[in-house]
Structure 1
Amino acid sequence: MIRLRRSRIGWRRRMNGNKIRIPSLVRRLRSSSSGYLHYVRARDQCQPLASLLSLHYRRTQCLERNIFGAWNRQLDMSRRLHALLVSHYRLSDGIASSSYSEGMGKNSQSNNKLLSEKRRPRTAQHHATIVDSKEHKLNKHHHDQDSTSKLKAEFETARLCFENMPSTLKDLPKMDPNGIYANHNLRLDGIRVYGFDYDYTLAHYTPDLQTLIYDLAKEHLVKEHRYPESCLQFEYNSDFPIRGLYYDKKKGYLLKLDFFHSVEPGGCYFGRRKVEQEEIEAVYGGKRISAEHMPNLVALMDLFCLSEVCLISDVIHHFVDTKIDFDASYVYEDVKKSIDFVHRSGLLHRRILEEPAKYLVKSQGVVRLLRSLKDYGKRLFLLTNSPFPFVDGGMRFMFEDDSASAEKWRDLFDVVIALADKPNFYTSERPFRHYDTEKDVLAFSKVDSFEKHSVYYHGCLKQFLEITEWKGPEVLYFGDHLYSDLRGPAKAGWRTAAIIRELEREIRTQNEDAYRFHQAKYHIMQELLGKYHGLPMTNPQDDEQKELLLSLRNARREARLAMKLMFNKNFGSTFLTDTGKESAFSYNVQRYADVYTSKLENFLQLPVEAWLYTPFDVKILPHHVKVSPKDFSGSPPRTRRPSSASS
């Protein structure tokens, strides 16, 4: 019978009335000149203890609960004891550790055999140990060189494969640029109500709109905020920004973050100057943005932010060049106020309605979709932050090809709400006000119901649900802004659909053979680098190992840069980082959008009662094709179910 109990100095073992203190046993082995007799005695004494510790390691129910309180400490002691016995016996007698393992638990006859081996001359035995040690080091060195040579040969083979694009890459499935992709399963047969935002959802704009916003905002900066008149020379550069960036309003850095809020290499700018990795780590204490800095970051998640990003960067860059002392937070606040003024003053809306053909993209597909939903008996509502006269002018322009419907576009909607002040609409308790479209004034009567052909301002989600009695899961809301449009509805239980205009171009680029070729090269280099770091390295590294590491890193960097330049030369893809990981923008799409697509009219390709499913092999976003290094082999391509939704 073996029992363990806890004492003041540690764990003891009781067997046949004898006590063995583990710490004292260790000291005796360390101080012994030969160590062998103590080893033989300790071997027999520790065999039952080793068995007990094995049971203890498996956490069986045979031990009492108080033993588990010292789990880590007791397990560590057993490992130290085992290592000490093996190392002490090997160094003293030149016997491999396997002899110790095989000798554990044998009878006294085997003990006598070991004792006879102990009586051999020590000098010759010690000399043999030294020779064996030198031979072992020499063999290990040759083994390390062989491993490095094999990896180098594998790298050279991969480089030869890069000269010709494998047919398997060309045979990979192409994703549909106009497809509808599901983050969460969605049954359209359960949707009774469809809601729509206006800007960049029902209405799409030409690139000229960003230039217009930029020019109007910079004029306001100079006239109202007294910025230098040299700022009027700025020009909007559509090639610089992308959606989904973050601006540090305290430090002035423009950042592209990945899924885990790490700064992408080459994805940080101060003004128009690219910031090196060393400066990023010095400012933020590493490449990952900590919780301490997150409150200072402003997410730029909609298309209207592109002109804002460009103007902030141009102002900072100009101030640095002209040596004007400035605070980054002041620049952000001034530019933000100027952008808001352009929108809220009505100046932008008037300019758009003066030349609708220049700024608005007419789409008959949107008109057909609204009519098909209405004909199928669905309820429709419009919820936008824009004022009604601006929305009315844009909808008339889109419906003008059908003269009978241009004046009656409101017949398609059961409820029209303008100046909703999203995202506050979803959390506030602001009441609805009836808007008189003829007199352009708000009525003073209380709104208890929504009347047909009427327009309402302000309001809140709570009152909206009370009046309509529409349940959350039966409402599907479309919007382009992940925060203002979709975060509130998602938390309120509505189903959400994101309209992401960049998606079509991104998918077309990812479908190109050249992009998939560079993506496969990157993954192969990443895999070879993993093998390299798993090699047993010489210390210091020899020239062959250094050369191989440099070649692998250069090849990986070339593939990463080639992929980046196929999207945006400054920030790369909106959805992906240079390393192929999902960006922070992708994280928000996955978090707040049940489904997403490039434009609203893509829903025309689906039956009204379609079921949208998440693909079985999706990682984060279903429109990404994962190119594996195995695609460079000659094996036939693996079939992949398309990510686009189907009925």
Structure 2
Amino acid sequence: MTEARPLTAIPTTPATEQLVLPIEDFLSRPSTPGIVRSRRVFANRDMRMSGITWVGFDMDYTLAIYDQPQMDRLSIDATVDKLVRRGYPHFIVDIPQEVDFAVRGLLIDKRFGHILKMDRYKHVSKGYHGFRQLTKDELRGLYHAKKLRPATPRYHWIDTLYALSEASLYAALVDALEKRGQAVDYAKLFTDIRECIDEAHRDGTILDAVVSDLPRFVHRDPDLALTLHKLRSAGKKLFLLTNSRWPYTEKMMTYLLGGAMVEYPSWRNYFDIVVVAATKPAFFQERRPLLERIVSERDEKVRPATFPLERGKVYEGGNLHDFERALGVSGDQVLYVGDHIYGDILRSKKESVWRTAMIIQELETEVHAHQACADDFEQTLHLEDTREHLEDDLRFYQARYKELSRLIDAKPTGNGARLTELEAERGRVKRSVERVRGLLRAAESELSVLERRIDSRFHPFWGSLLKEGTEESSFGAQVEEYACVYTSRVSNFLAYSPQQHFRGARDVMAHEQGG
């Protein structure tokens, strides 16, 4: 065994001594693989897992990671079938569908039939009508003259993976109906789509298809059980809080966790409390009663829950106030893990002090695209720096041109040579202005090419999920504001200690950047 090297002290004042760590030795060690970036847990703000007593989980799109293209095709087919039954023309069954068209964070304008993407300041920067991209002039004329108010009946947010099929189908139908010369009531069309897809969920058209072929629609994560076991082994208590009803929850959770570890005879053994049909976000806002679901082979019924809540039982409904009382801990000792920016993350953060972890299934693709754009990002920064210097030069030459013009207009008397000299210099300055403007146009043009190329690497229609131009997208801003940490899947926590201190990045303001 190598003897540890002692820390050496630098002589200072008697009151303080500064220790020098052997940093050079540390840096000289061979690097370790670490955690692949696409599977990391990213922190928006500091969170100490050592202070977390309870960890709660949503089920759909959180513990259960769905195959998105398969789910979108299923949802679209079921919705189109119901639209035809409502009287829509039969040809819509055969129109091309772009199942990869939509991303989360989009806004549907039901007045004009547009689908929009905004940055964090509600500035509309991209938009489509059907599958035709709106021009900058169209966007400016409709959305830049006055403040956009998304929280009105005119607009509808697409903020869940579940809702992507609605936006894709809406764009396809607007496109197909208008190409056939049919007048489209954009608001009614979207309402009909929403009602039909909700009906397809209620009557079992979609859920029955999923349950009948779970391997087709759901990815079974082999590390999920180990992740939950690791948290339990560290003394954390776990709860499941899902909007899904009991029959679907039972089948899905059995598929995800059943038989995964011999220590757990049933998936219910992983959790200390199980709550189904929670109706989030109402769970965080209203005072609905908590019920106990009596599950037996012969019958199922519900009755008012009694406290304390018991491990092994199944509960239904409920509300934040009663649930926190049942947990017996203060809010910041609870970490809730979910995928829905509004129902799981935003509302729990606004109505409680629960810590929040958001599962962003698209994050792995987002990280890979970001890494693939490394050279383009570097070139973009270089061009932006060049542009800033050129703008400084332009301001200097324009100010000098105005100064020279004032001197020439004053017509200095008795000194023709001086006037000729001033006019010659003004000519040189004017040429410099034109040269710098040309360089600026070239830099702007190259930046536009880079931005389009970067966007296409993230998503062919909308670019990055979490960014829009140089700003965060409206979706990215919500993730930053309401999610304490975020990651692509629950099992990513397996690589971290259950006592991990997640540290948020240092905020940097504009005046602190650069040299």
Q: Structure 2-normalised TM-score?
A: 0.80
How far apart are residue 448 of structure 1 and its match? 4.0
| SS at 2:37 equivalent | coil
Alignment partners' CA distance in 2, 1:529 and 1:237:
43
Distance 1:629 1:226, change over 3 A: farther
In the alignment, which residue of structure 1 is the partner of 2:20? none
Deviation at 1:390, TM superposition (A): 1.4
Cα gap change, 1:253 to 1:528, in 2 (>3 Å):
farther
Alignment of 1:127-138 (within 5 A): none
Does residue 1:279 correspond to 2:138, yes or no? yes
Residue 574 of structure 1 and its aligned partner are, at CA, apart by 0.4
2:92 to 231, 240, 248: 231
Is 1:222 equivalent to 2:222 in the alignment?
Answer: no
In the alignment, what sits opposite 1:382?
Answer: 240
Please name the residue that 2:422 is paired with: none
- Aligned to 2:178, the other structure's residue is in SS state helix
Match of 1:500 in 2: 360
In structure 2, the residue matched to 1:198 is 59
Give the structure, 1 or 2, with the largest relative contact order (CA under 8 Å, sep 6 or more).
Answer: 2
Tell me the equivalent position of 2:107.
246
| SS state at 2:505 partner | coil
Which residue is equivalent to 1:609?
Answer: 499
Q: 1:569-627 CA deviation, whole Å, 9 max, x = no partner?
A: 211010111x332111111001110111111111111111111111235679xxxxxxx
Distance in 2 (CA, whole Å) between partners of 1:529 and 1:581 is 23
Match of 1:478 in 2: 337
User: How many aligned residue pairs are there?
Assistant: 446
Aligned match of 1:464 in 319, 323, 327? Answer: 323
Between the aligned partners of 2:437 and 2:220, the Cα distance in structure 1 is 59
1:318-333 alignment runs, 5 A limit: 318-333=176-191
Q: What is the DSSP-based 3-state SS (H/G/I as helix, E as strand, rest coil) of the residue aligned with 1:435?
A: strand
Deviates more, 1:475-484 or 1:426-435: 426-435
Q: Is 2:287 the counterpart of 1:429?
A: yes
The AA in structure 2 aligned to 1:199 is: D
CA contact (8 A) 1:384 1:417 kept: yes
What is the aligned partner in structure 1 of residue 31 from structure 2? none
**Larger-Rg structure:** 1
| DSSP 3-state at the match of 2:467 | coil
**Aligned equivalents of 1:300, 1:312: Cα separation in 2:** 12
CA contact (8 A) 1:524 1:629 kept: no
**Alignment equivalent of 2:48, drawn from 166, 175, 187:** 187
Taking a change above 3 Å as real, the CA distance of residues 496 and 322 of structure 1, as seen in their structure-2 partners, is same
- Asked if structure 2 preserves the Cα contact closer than 8 Å seen for 1:175 and 1:507, the reply is no
Q: Structure 1 residues 565 and 440, CA, compared in 2 at 3 Å: closer, same or farther?
A: farther
Runs of 5+ consecutive residues of structure 1 not aligned to the other structure = 1-172, 621-627, 631-647
**Equivalent-residue separation in structure 2 for 1:221 and 1:618 (angstroms):** 50
Mark the CA change 1:440 to 1:311 in structure 2 (over 3 Å): closer, same or farther.
farther
CA distance in structure 2 between the aligned counterparts of 1:615 and 1:403, rounded to whole angstroms: 37
Deviation at 1:257, TM superposition (A): 0.5
RMSD across aligned positions (CA):
2.7
Evaluate the alpha carbon distance shift between residue 489 and residue 203 of structure 1 in structure 2; reply closer, same or farther with a 3 A threshold: same
Residue 150 (structure 2) pairs with residue 259 (structure 1): no
Give the letter for the 1:477 counterpart. Answer: Y
Map 1:175-574 → 2, pairs under 5 A: 176-206=37-67, 207-223=69-85, 225-264=86-125, 267-286=126-145, 289-291=147-149, 296-402=154-260, 404=262, 408-438=266-296, 439=298, 441-445=300-304, 447-491=306-350, 492-512=352-372, 513-524=374-385, 526-528=387-389, 530-531=391-392, 534-537=395-398, 544=435, 547-574=438-465
Q: Shift of residue 209 of structure 1?
A: 1.6
The residue type paired with residue 484 of structure 1 is G
1:457–1:533 Cα change, 3 Å: farther
The residue number in structure 2 matching 1:600 is 490
Q: Deviations over 1:318-345 (max 9, x none)?
A: 2221222222211221111122222232
Partner of 1:57: none
The amino acid that maps onto 1:456 is Y
Percentage of identical aligned residues = 28
